[in-house]
Amino acid sequence: MASLLETTKPGITRLVTITSMVGFGLSWLESPGQRATADLIATGLGCAVGTALSASGANALNQVMERFRDREMDRTKKRPLPQDRVEPRTVLWFGLASALAGLALLLALCGPVPALISLWCVVSYTLIYTPSKPITSFSTYLGTLPGALPPLIGWSAGWQPGGAESLAHPGGWTLFALMTVWQLPHFFAIAWMYRDDYAKGGYRVLPVVDPSGNLTATTIAVWTVLQLPVSVTPALAMPGLLGWPYIVIAVLSGLGFTWLAFRLIRTRSNADARKVFFASIAYLPLVMTALVVEAAIRAMLRE
C-alpha cells in the first residue's frame, strides 16, 4: 500500500490541495453571499479531499505513462514502478479510481464548476503535458495549466452563491496567474539541475536543448521579473481583503527571487540554479501565507 501511495507524488498532491484551499478561503471571504456553517464545512472538506483525490489519481496515471523513462533517470529510478514494487495495471486502476472519486466528490459537495475545472486539470496533465515532454521544450509551459488551476477549483467552490458566477470575479484569476508565473522559474531551475538526467530519459526540457544555458537563465530571469507585478494583482482584485502588508511582502520576496535569477545569468552554475530552486520553494508559501493571514485579519476586523 505504501508503494501505491508513493505513486501519487504526495508532495505535489499536498501543494495542489493547499493552493486549492487558499482559493477557497479567499473566495469565501470575498463572495457577497452568506453560507451556513455546516454547509461551509462540508463544502470545504469536499474541496480539499476531492482536489487531493483527483490530483493523486492524475499523478499515479502520470507515473504509469512515464515508468520506462523513469527507469533511465537517477532521480526517478527508485520510484515504485521502475523498481517493480507495484504492477502498472494496479497503479492504472488506482489512478483512475482516485481521479473519478475526487471528481465525484467535488461534483456532489462543491458543484459542477469545481468538478469541471478539476477534470480539466487531470486531462491536461495526463493527456497534454505528459505526452508532450519528450517532444518539445514548450511542454513546461503546457504543464503550468494543471498546476495553476487548483486555486480556481477552490475559488469556484468557496464562492457563494456559487456556479459559474464565481469565475466572473478577477480574484480567482489573479491566483491562477500567480501560480502560472511561479511555476516557470521553479521548473526551469529543476530542469537545469537535472538536465543530464532529463536527457537520459529522453525529455526535451529547455536546459537539454539549450546546452549553453543562456536562454534558460534569461527565461528564468524574465519570469521572475514578471512575478513582481503579477504578485500584486490579488490586492488590486480584492482591495477589501488585501493591502500594503501583503504587497510589501510579495514585492520584497519577489525582488530577492529576481536577484538570484539574474545572478544565474552571470554564473550559469548548478549552485546558483539550486539557489533559484530553493528560493522558489520559499517564495510560494510566504506569499500564500501573507494572502491568507491579511485577508483573515481584515475579515475579522470588519465584522
Distance set, CA 203 to CA 139, 190, 248 (Å) = 10, 13, 39
CB 167 within 8 A of CB 184: no
CA distance 215 to 143: 19
Range of the domain at 269: 169-303
Q: Number of folded domains in the chain?
A: 2
The pLDDT of residue 301 is above 90: no
Residues 176 and 288 in one domain: yes
The pLDDT of residue 109 is above 80: yes
CB 295 within 8 A of CB 234: no
List, in order, residues 6 or more apart from 266 with CB less than 8 Å away.
Answer: none
CA nearest to 233, candidates 124, 302, 162, 151: 151
Show the beta-strand stretches assigned E in 153-286. Answer: none
Q: pLDDT at position 210, please?
A: 92
Residues 163 and 182 in one domain: no
Mean pLDDT along residues 251-258: 96
Residues 198 and 292 in one domain: yes
Residues 222 and 132 in one domain: no
The pLDDT of residue 5 is above 90: no
Domain boundary among 168, 192, 226: 168
Question: Mean pLDDT over all residues of the chain?
Answer: 94
Burial grade of 224 (CB within 10 A; 0-12, 13-18, 19 or more): buried
List, in order, residues 6 or more apart from 196 with CB less than 8 Å away.
Answer: none
Q: pLDDT at position 303, please?
A: 62
Burial grade of 284 (CB within 10 A; 0-12, 13-18, 19 or more): buried
DSSP state of 239: T
CA distance 252 to 250: 6
Residues 7 and 153 in one domain: yes
CB 100 within 8 A of CB 152: no
CATH code, 242: 1.20.120
Q: What percent of the chain has pLDDT over 70?
A: 100
Domain boundary among 127, 150, 168: 168
Element (DSSP H or E) covering residue 280: helix 270-301
Residues 122 and 26 in one domain: yes
The pLDDT of residue 162 is above 90: no
CA distance 48 to 44: 6
Cis peptide before 207 (omega within 30 of 0): no
Q: Is the pTM of this model over 0.75?
A: yes
Q: What percent of the chain has pLDDT over 90?
A: 87
Residues 164 and 177 in one domain: no
